[in-house]
Amino acid sequence: MIRYALKCAKAHEFESWFQSAGAYDSLRGAGHVACPMCGDTEVEKLLMAPSVRPARKAEGAKPTLQAPASQMEAALAAMRAEIEKNSDYVGMNFVAEARKMHAGEAPERAIHGEAKLEEAKKLIEEGIPVAPLPFVPKRQAN
C-alpha cells in the first residue's frame, strides 16, 4: 500500500491510499480519483516525505490525534460523525436497500453506503431521493 498527498484543481488537499503507484495511475487515468470535498477528478500528487519509524524511546508513547487542519475539515468530521451515528451502513447493498425502502418492501430508515455513479443516477431517475456524501464511508467488517 502507498499513501499519497493529493490536491485537486480547486486547491483542496487530501490524502488517499492506493494498492501501488500503478494502481493510482490507472485509477486517476480512469477518473476514479476524486476530491472528497468537491468531487473534482483533476487531481495531482503533492511532494511527500517518507514515513519514518519512530525511535525506540518514542515507541511506548501514546499516539496523539491530529486536530483538523481547517474549519472545513472540522465540519466534515462532525457531519460524518452525525451520519454514522444516525444511519445504518449498508455497504455495497445501498442501491438494493434504497429500492426496497422506496417500494415499501423494507422499513424506512436512514441509510448510507456505496454505489457506483451510474447506479446512483438511476435511483434519482426512478424518483428515489439520494445524495452523495462528501467523504468515503468507512468500510465496516461483519
Phi-psi map region of 47: left, alpha, beta (phi>0 left; psi -120 to 50 alpha): beta
| Whether residue 80 sits in one domain with residue 37 | no
CB-neighbour burial class of residue 124 (10 A; exposed 0-12, middle 13-18, buried 19+): exposed
Examine residue 89 and state whether it is found in any structural domain, yes or no: yes
pLDDT score recorded for residue 59: 53
pLDDT score recorded for residue 77: 85
Q: Which residue has the cell 490524502?
A: 15
pTM, to two decimals: 0.51
> Domain total for the chain?
2
Q: Is 2 helix (H, G, I), strand (E, B) or coil?
A: strand
Q: Retrieve residue 119's grid coordinates.
A: 447506479
| Whether residue 80 sits in one domain with residue 120 | yes
| Whether residue 113 sits in one domain with residue 79 | yes
Range of the domain at 116: 71-125
Examine residue 137 and state whether it is found in any structural domain, yes or no: no
Ordered per-residue pLDDT tens for the chain, 142 residues: 788 899 999 999 998 888 888 999 999 999 899 998 888 999 999 887 666 777 666 555 565 556 667 888 888 888 888 998 999 999 889 999 999 999 999 999 999 988 898 999 999 999 999 988 887 777 654 4
